[in-house]
């Protein structure tokens, strides 16, 4: 049976579209060998990545100056959110750049393994429905997240427009604060400053989102292949007769098929290790920062007046959905890799040859150790960690509310409007 509704390139095409907006080449292409070729190929991206780095430095420097000059707790908390977000985004993009050829090798390996033809309706259903569903969800998440960040950064424009139309004194606002060697609210310079912050925010959000969706798509491919491997193991024993009447030719065919399953299993384990090497350390940094950021954004939502709550609600939903998706696909990989042992056990291995039984035992023993992804050997990337992170964020929120929630001064400054 041919796979008609989906092909491999469709599963990553939307990632390459978003990378195109920040000048990064397609993630499934290898880097050029010569330095000058690399420089010409990536000149636009280098400029935009430097833009993102400047945004990170500017937001962190603004936080330092805020604490050393006129201390404003709302400015400090705002700069922690913005500065850590840019720091995480630039770290994610740096990981993608450093491991570009390794990622391209993984993607090309998945392209080689892509099943353009399958033997059963169930396998066809796994490829088309499972991968199509995940690709559609990841595409929607990526574009929706980009839209959310653009909406948040456009909020000051809407506020100024409303104030102007209602006859009020329209105060100049920026999407967030950063350090500038000039007066950013100078009417002649203000439009350029706003554009600088606006597109710089897109560079950060695109870098972060593409890292996340690329990680999730890779795990989707890996989980799909584990599902197909379960079907292949079942197919390797479909000719086994429990009455012991199978021929020598049948036994040899079953053994050869099972040996191919073992080789495929080892290949998938190797790919999992490569994915873990590239992504997990940065995901730990992401989890740590997002836990604190959700706490602060949730606190801002509680103290902000009604008109400004929408911005923080969008920010909180984006931060939480980002962590949730990483944990969800980590959980899927864990469950699909572990269920391989059940598929091996449920086949009629007891009626086959001793060699076959030894090989099936190898698969069972190895697959009983689920393919977990551990963020810097600390957090397991699974739904249990998601609940732990939410619990930690709530604890930090309660602590923050206890310490500064009863301040007599009016909350203003930073992200608050």
Q: Which residues of 347-375 are buried (b: 16+ CB within 10 A; e: fewer)?
A: bebebbbeebeebbeebbebbeebbbbbb
Tell me phi and psi for residue 167, to 5 degrees.
85, 10
Q: What are the tokens at 275?
A: 């994915």
- Cα separation of 405 and 365, whole Å? 54
pLDDT per residue over 288-307, tens digit each?
A: 899 999 999 888 888 877 66
Q: Are 345 and 364 in contact (CB under 8 A)?
A: yes
Query: Tokens 């060699």 map to which residue?
Result: 355
Tell me phi and psi for residue 34, to 5 degrees.
-85, 145
- Cα separation of 341 and 221, whole Å? 19
Q: What are the tokens at 176?
A: 């967030």
Q: Within 13 Å, how many C-alpha atoms sit on residue 72's CB side?
A: 17
| pLDDT number for residue 211 | 93
- Model's pTM, two decimal places? 0.89
| pLDDT number for residue 275 | 92
CA dihedral for 408, 410, 412, 416, sign (positive or negative): positive
Q: What are the tokens at 95?
A: 């990981």
| pLDDT number for residue 283 | 92
| pLDDT number for residue 354 | 76
CA dihedral for 33, 39, 44, 47, sign (positive or negative): positive
| pLDDT number for residue 216 | 93
Torsion of Cα atoms, 382 then 387 then 393 then 397, to 10°? 170
Contacts within 8 Å (CB) and 24+ apart, 115-122: 115/3, 115/228, 116/2, 116/3, 116/7, 117/1, 117/2, 117/3, 118/1, 118/3, 118/228, 119/1, 119/235, 120/1, 120/231, 120/235, 121/1, 122/231
| pLDDT number for residue 238 | 58
| pLDDT number for residue 351 | 63
| pLDDT number for residue 417 | 62
| pLDDT number for residue 103 | 92
Residue-range domain boundaries for the chain: 8-236+248-403
**Using CB atoms within 10 A of its CB, is residue 61 exposed (0-12), middle (13-18) or buried (19+)?**
middle
Length of the chain as a residue count = 417
Torsion of Cα atoms, 146 then 148 then 150 then 153, to 10°? -140
pLDDT per residue over 131-182, tens digit each?
A: 888 888 888 898 888 888 888 888 888 888 887 788 767 788 888 888 888 8
CA dihedral for 249, 252, 256, 257, sign (positive or negative): positive
Q: Report the DSSP beta bridge partners of residue 374.
A: 380
Q: What is the mean pLDDT of each run of 10 residues along the chain (417 residues)?
A: 77 89 87 74 87 90 75 82 91 92 92 82 82 88 86 84 77 86 88 91 90 93 88 67 58 76 87 91 91 89 76 87 91 85 71 74 77 83 90 88 69 69
């Amino acid at each position: 049976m041919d796979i008609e509704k989906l092909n491999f390139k469709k599963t990553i095409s939307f990632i390459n579209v978003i990378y195109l907006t920040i000048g990064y080449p397609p993630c499934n292409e290898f880097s050029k060998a010569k330095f000058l070729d690399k420089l010409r190929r990536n000149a636009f991206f280098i400029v935009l990545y430097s833009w993102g780095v400047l945004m990170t430095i500017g937001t962190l420097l603004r936080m330092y100056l805020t604490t050393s000059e006129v201390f404003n707790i709302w400015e400090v908390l705002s700069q922690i959110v913005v500065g850590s977000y840019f720091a995480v985004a630039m770290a994610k993009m740096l990981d993608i750049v450093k491991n570009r050829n390794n990622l391209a090798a993984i993607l090309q390996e998945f392209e080689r393994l892509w099943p353009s033809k399958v033997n059963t309706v169930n396998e066809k259903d796994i490829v088309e429905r499972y991968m199509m569903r995940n690709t559609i969800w990841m595409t929607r998440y990526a574009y929706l997240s980009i839209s959310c960040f653009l909406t948040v950064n456009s909020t000051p424009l809407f506020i100024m427009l409303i104030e102007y139309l209602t006859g009020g004194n329209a105060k100049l606002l920026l999407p967030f604060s950063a350090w500038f060697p000039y007066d950013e609210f100078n009417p002649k310079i203000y439009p350029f400053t706003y554009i600088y912050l606006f597109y710089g925010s897109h560079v950060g959000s695109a870098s972060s989102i593409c890292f996340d969706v690329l990680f999730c798509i890779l795990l989707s491919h890996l989980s799909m292949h584990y599902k197909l491997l379960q079907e292949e193991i079942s197919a390797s024993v479909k000719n086994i007769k429990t009455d012991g009447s199978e021929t020598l030719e049948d036994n040899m065919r079953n053994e050869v098929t099972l040996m191919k399953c073992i080789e495929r299993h080892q290949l998938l384990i190797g790919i999992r290790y490569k994915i873990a090497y590239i992504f997990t350390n940065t995901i730990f940094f992401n989890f740590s920062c997002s836990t604190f950021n959700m706490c602060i954004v949730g606190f801002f939502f509680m103290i902000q007046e009604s008109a400004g709550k929408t911005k923080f609600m969008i920010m909180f939903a984006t931060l939480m959905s980002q962590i949730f998706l990483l944990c969800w696909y980590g959980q899927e990989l864990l469950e699909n890799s572990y269920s391989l042992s059940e598929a091996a056990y449920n086949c009629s291995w007891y009626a086959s040859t001793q060699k076959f039984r030894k090989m099936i035992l190898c698969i069972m023993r190895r697959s009983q150790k689920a393919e977990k992804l551990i963020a810097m050997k600390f957090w397991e990337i699974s739904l249990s960690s998601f609940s732990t992170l939410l619990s930690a964020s709530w604890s930090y929120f309660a602590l923050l509310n206890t310490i500064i929630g009863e301040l007599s001064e009016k909350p203003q400054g930073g992200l608050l409007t």
